[in-house]
Structure 1
Amino acid sequence: MKIEEILSGTPVAGLPGGHFIDGAYTASTRAQMESYDPGRAAPFATFARGTAADIDQAVASAIHAFEKTWRKTPPAERGRILYHAAQLIRDDAERLAIVECLDSGKPLNEALGDVNGAARAFEYYAGACDKLQGDTFPLPQGYLGYSVYEPVGVSAQIIPWNYPISTAARGIAPALAAGCTVVAKPAEQTPFTALQLADILTKAGLPAGVCNVVSGTGAEAGAPLVAHPDVDQITFTGSVATGQAVMRSAADNVTRLVLELGGKSPVVVLNDCDMERALTGVLGAIFENAGQICSAGSRLVIERGIHDAFVGELCARAKKLTIGHGLRDPQLGPVNSAGHLDKIAGFIDRARSRGAEILTGGRTTADPETGEGWFYEPTIVADRPSDDELVREEIFGPVLTVQIADDPEHALALAGDCQYGLVAGIYTGNVSNALKMARDVDAGQIFINEYFAGGVEVPFGGNKLSGFGREKGLEGLRSYCKVKSVAARID
């Protein structure tokens, strides 16, 4: 698969056209949907448009595989299969990254990082398969008490469009490690790497029906999946509004949930920070993947003493970011769709009407080489009050809003004055201030002196409107387990 040929318009060969059910690609029962290349604003492939009937077939396959095969597979053998899958992902990393880039729009190097991260997720949970153990309880003499972790059953995975392969891996890998089977529904904008991932798992030795993928729209495939009475657990990543709808559907069947929803995360930069490290961190926190990250650092809360110098340099660096098609590996790629581009532009247009000062950016643009694609300039907006829309609402684009703090206590108050609680970043040379702020900010994960620090080993998830439950780490593994306690009289 040559990048030059793809950029010249050559069709991408070998992409799946059907769902992946019961260990194989299946023909679509309906007309295909188009998948768009955001860097050109044009379709580049088609995929299957799933229905409730496809979901029923996938869930039935997952139930059969769970009851007959996967839950009975020794944990060490599950680990061997997942580790083999990690190796196969790495072997096919370049092709997967190209497909991810075309589907999502992100720069090629970022896509390659996501693919390697997916491999690492399977590697991590491969090692955890045979280490998921329960406890014994200190009962009186004559009694024995212990607990065991059991897989919950069939897990439904609703995968977002901003990180298709890495989000799929962070949910599918622990589900399989725990002994669950999976039915995944990737976003309609980015279906291909999830489908390819299921095929890779099968090649690694995963039994048929253990991992199924049904592509299509949220209304026609996603909604029937989360409402399915035979689904035992749901992992959803997406918007607050859709997450609330998923909760309502899950309530009818009392289905377990992990919800990773939106964010409006602060990056707190104090006067005593390492300026260069903080500039690099803030720039990446908002402009990586064109700001289309739930945990993006979209609010810069900065102490007044360094505000002018810091923001001035930050704007200068933002203006120098290269823009272009993801396959050319620019520093900033396109946003995912025309509709999303309009949404981002709407936020800035309304801010201008309120008198907001746009320090840099603030306009739609295009690939400078072709004049095509869905692009928005890297944008920084001057100090806004806490009740402003740019401070309160998730934009999900390359837009950073500044808030000026008088001192660390004021910075903490500004950081916490938000309806979301996904992550927060802190840049300071004072360890005591950093740890106190980490203690007091209501967020699921705190980054100190490096935004996006950590990896699959670190639990991830939100508070408040950012959702509940945790993914990654051993906490993520427990999301796919139910605890059984046993107490026996033995005298």
Structure 2
Amino acid sequence: MLSRTSTKFFRKSLQIRYFSQLPLKVPIKLPNGLEYEQPTGLFINNKFVPSQQHKTFEVINPTTEEEICHVYEGREEDVDIAVNAADKAFSGDSWSRIDPFERGTALYRLAELIEKDKEVVASIESLDNGKAINSARGDVQLVINYLKSAAGFADKIDGRLINTGKTHFSYTKREPLGVCGQIIPWNFPLLMWAWKVAPALVTGNTVVLKTAESTPLSALYVSQFIPHAGVPPGVVNIVSGFGKIVGEAITAHPKVKKVAFTGSTATGKHIYQQAAASLKKVTLELGGKSPNIVFADADLTKAVQNIILGIYYNSGEVCCAGSRAYVEESVYDKFVEELKAAAENVKVGNPFDESTYQGAQTSQMQLDKILKYVNIGKGEGASLITGGERFGSKGYFVRPTIFGDVKENMRIVKEEIFGPVITITKFKTVDEVIDMANDSEYGLAAGIHTTNINNAIKVADRVKAGTVWINTYNDFHHNVPFGGFNASGLGREMGTEAIDNYTQVKAVRAAID
């Protein structure tokens, strides 16, 4: 029998895989006392099914480091079955060609079904991911809001009439792409599921989606509502599994016409290159190292709370986290003092404690990565103002961490840590802070804190970022597009811009006798 140390090593390196006759649903009792049936199979043709090889992998609770359950692991042959089901659903009359209003109605029903069960859904998210229950509830509400919002676009996806003179009748129309492959991350499992599935479905496409191997539970759970919402078989298919197998198979499949991916920039580049071989349409929402700028005229108390939200929300596992703070020199010392006090007041611990703000990191691997960067920062000569160590002896917890006295060429300033670690730099002029803010390969988001709205708009115009928050941070809305510049990705999530990712334009020009 493996020792506990050996077991943890294998879990960290590959998540132990078994051949199993696992039931397609298993009972789970959540830490808050709620009980539910967790689907464990692949979701294909509106049914949960075992994988072809009957291979499974374990899902770990990041709070306790113990196994939650096993789920079936998809392989290449499972992806092929799912893609064929999606292709059949798209080619028939049941989805892409029906009245668009019916698609919107089905998506709205799906939102309502999730809403009726939202406390269980949020609890699954906390259990699987480690995030604080209040953060999980916020995620689920965003999911519901976005599904309802996207449903409203269904019968409003129009082309245009083009005046080309009296000899021709010319117009355009938007058409769906076909089977869309979607690969989602582990930091916001259900929210990313919604951001991918909703625009694909409302535009008439069909989906084959891979969940993150460390957090598959919430997506599998809500998928059971899909047939009850009126979505036909084959329209949405979920294949749990590992990126190098399932992700590769989805990206390379000849019947997949578009790939959407959220995750690291390195993996995004690989997917982009692989998809290019068959000229698939690609959208990528990738990494970030976002600047959060505080001017001397800002309301410092509010700015501190926005910085806290920007870096410690969701345990810092946020692609757009405000991980680089730039503070005007005249208020730097006071700001650092207030931020240190606020960070040390952040409650870290059990995600199901209603007062917890920062839950667990999602995996041992992520915990190790964060602590490695803490050591790198110390080695580079940065001052550790607070935190920088593991919290508790069980679970993947890290104390909120602040580094000062940093230089712009330090790795902790340049590289994405993806955890509750922030660096603070002082600046004197607007030009100086703009140069530092833009000195990054990324360009996902930025924050500006000032009471001078003219200055805020001028700085927002000059910062190279897909989203700029002014006197707020991590402030998402279902109608506001989200996506990055540069190495932070291609395309946009949410808003009307997301619809563009899942449609193609056909021009029709008819000669008039």
Answer yes or no: same fold by TM over 0.5. yes
Task: Confirm or deny that 1:449 pairs with 2:471.
Answer: yes
Q: Which amino acid aligns with 1:302?
A: V
Please report how far the alpha carbon of residue 223 of structure 1 lies from its aligned counterpart in structure 2 after TM superposition.
1.1
| Structure 2: segments with no counterpart, 5+ residues | 1-27
Mapped to 2, the partners of 1:220 and 1:177 lie a distance apart of 28
Mapped to 1, the partners of 2:298 and 2:122 lie a distance apart of 35
Task: Confirm or deny that 1:128 pairs with 2:153.
Answer: yes
Mapped to 1, the partners of 2:130 and 2:203 lie a distance apart of 33
1:456–1:473 contact (8 Å) kept in structure 2: yes
Of the structure 1 ranges 42-51 and 449-458, higher mean CA displacement relative to structure 2 is found in: 449-458
In structure 2, the residue matched to 1:251 is: 276
Equivalent residue in structure 2 for 1:23, among 43, 46, 61? 46
Task: Confirm or deny that 1:324 pairs with 2:346.
Answer: no
Equivalent residue in structure 1 for 2:184, among 159, 162, 167? 159
Please report how far the alpha carbon of residue 386 of structure 1 lies from its aligned counterpart in structure 2 after TM superposition.
1.2
Please report how far the alpha carbon of residue 11 of structure 1 lies from its aligned counterpart in structure 2 after TM superposition.
11
Mapped to 2, the partners of 1:383 and 1:128 lie a distance apart of 49
Mapped to 1, the partners of 2:240 and 2:294 lie a distance apart of 42
Aligned pairs for 1:283-362 (under 5 A) are: 283-329=308-354, 330-362=356-388
For residue 296 of structure 2, give the secondary structure of its aligned residue in structure 1: coil
Deviations 1:373-408 (A, max 9, x none): 011110000031111101100000000011111122
Q: Which amino acid aligns with 1:447?
A: W
In structure 1, the residue matched to 2:75 is: 51
In structure 2, the residue matched to 1:88 is: 113
In structure 2, the residue matched to 1:108 is: 133
Mapped to 2, the partners of 1:477 and 1:384 lie a distance apart of 41
Task: Confirm or deny that 1:273 pairs with 2:298.
Answer: yes
1:155–1:180 contact (8 Å) kept in structure 2: yes
Aligned pairs for 1:370-381 (under 5 A) are: 371-381=393-403
Task: Confirm or deny that 1:33 pairs with 2:57.
Answer: yes
Say how many residue pairs are matched.
483
Task: Confirm or deny that 1:427 pairs with 2:416.
Answer: no
In structure 2, the residue matched to 1:464 is: 486
What is the percent sequence identity of the aligned residues?
39
For residue 282 of structure 2, give the secondary structure of its aligned residue in structure 1: strand
Deviations 1:167-205 (A, max 9, x none): 110110010000000001010000011112222122111
Deviations 1:18-43 (A, max 9, x none): 10000110123322111011111111
Task: Confirm or deny that 1:415 pairs with 2:440.
Answer: no
Aligned pairs for 1:376-391 (under 5 A) are: 376-391=398-413
2:380–2:410 contact (8 Å) kept in structure 1: no
Mapped to 2, the partners of 1:383 and 1:354 lie a distance apart of 10
Please report how far the alpha carbon of residue 105 of structure 1 lies from its aligned counterpart in structure 2 after TM superposition.
0.4
Mapped to 2, the partners of 1:155 and 1:54 lie a distance apart of 16
| Moved segments of 4+, more than 2 Å | 4-8, 10-13, 28-31
Deviations 1:412-449 (A, max 9, x none): 11111111000111111111111111111111111111
1:11–1:44 contact (8 Å) kept in structure 2: no
2:46–2:226 contact (8 Å) kept in structure 1: no
Mapped to 1, the partners of 2:40 and 2:59 lie a distance apart of 11
1:40–1:325 contact (8 Å) kept in structure 2: no
Deviations 1:447-469 (A, max 9, x none): 11111234110111111110111
1:285–1:297 contact (8 Å) kept in structure 2: yes
| Structure 1: segments with no counterpart, 5+ residues | none
Change (3 A) 1:353 1:179: same
Mapped to 1, the partners of 2:86 and 2:294 lie a distance apart of 48
In structure 2, the residue matched to 1:139 is: 164
2:29–2:35 contact (8 Å) kept in structure 1: no
Q: Which amino acid aligns with 1:76?
A: F
In structure 2, the residue matched to 1:79 is: 104
2:143–2:191 contact (8 Å) kept in structure 1: yes
Mapped to 2, the partners of 1:474 and 1:393 lie a distance apart of 32
2:34–2:120 contact (8 Å) kept in structure 1: no
Q: Which amino acid aligns with 1:88?
A: L
Mapped to 1, the partners of 2:301 and 2:160 lie a distance apart of 47
Please report how far the alpha carbon of residue 142 of structure 1 lies from its aligned counterpart in structure 2 after TM superposition.
2.2
Please report how far the alpha carbon of residue 411 of structure 1 lies from its aligned counterpart in structure 2 after TM superposition.
1.4
For residue 510 of structure 2, give the secondary structure of its aligned residue in structure 1: strand
Change (3 A) 1:431 1:13: closer
For residue 256 of structure 2, give the secondary structure of its aligned residue in structure 1: coil
In structure 2, the residue matched to 1:62 is: 86
Aligned alpha-carbon RMSD (Å): 1.4
2:376–2:412 contact (8 Å) kept in structure 1: no
2:359–2:397 contact (8 Å) kept in structure 1: yes
Mapped to 2, the partners of 1:175 and 1:377 lie a distance apart of 39
Of the structure 1 ranges 445-454 and 287-296, higher mean CA displacement relative to structure 2 is found in: 445-454
1:17–1:28 contact (8 Å) kept in structure 2: no
For residue 412 of structure 1, give the secondary structure of its aligned residue in structure 2: helix
Deviations 1:118-171 (A, max 9, x none): 111110011010001011112122221110000011111101000000011011
For residue 471 of structure 1, give the secondary structure of its aligned residue in structure 2: coil
Please report how far the alpha carbon of residue 7 of structure 1 lies from its aligned counterpart in structure 2 after TM superposition.
3.5
Deviations 1:81-112 (A, max 9, x none): 11111111100101111111111100011111
For residue 326 of structure 1, give the secondary structure of its aligned residue in structure 2: coil
For residue 420 of structure 1, give the secondary structure of its aligned residue in structure 2: coil
Mapped to 1, the partners of 2:495 and 2:131 lie a distance apart of 26
Please report how far the alpha carbon of residue 13 of structure 1 lies from its aligned counterpart in structure 2 after TM superposition.
4.6
Equivalent residue in structure 1 for 2:143, among 118, 122, 138? 118
Mapped to 1, the partners of 2:474 and 2:370 lie a distance apart of 23
Please report how far the alpha carbon of residue 481 of structure 1 lies from its aligned counterpart in structure 2 after TM superposition.
0.1
Q: Which amino acid aligns with 2:234?
A: G
User: Please, what TM-score do these two structures have when normalized by structure 1?
Assistant: 0.96
Mapped to 2, the partners of 1:192 and 1:489 lie a distance apart of 55
Mapped to 1, the partners of 2:171 and 2:287 lie a distance apart of 38
Mapped to 1, the partners of 2:259 and 2:449 lie a distance apart of 35
Change (3 A) 1:360 1:464: same
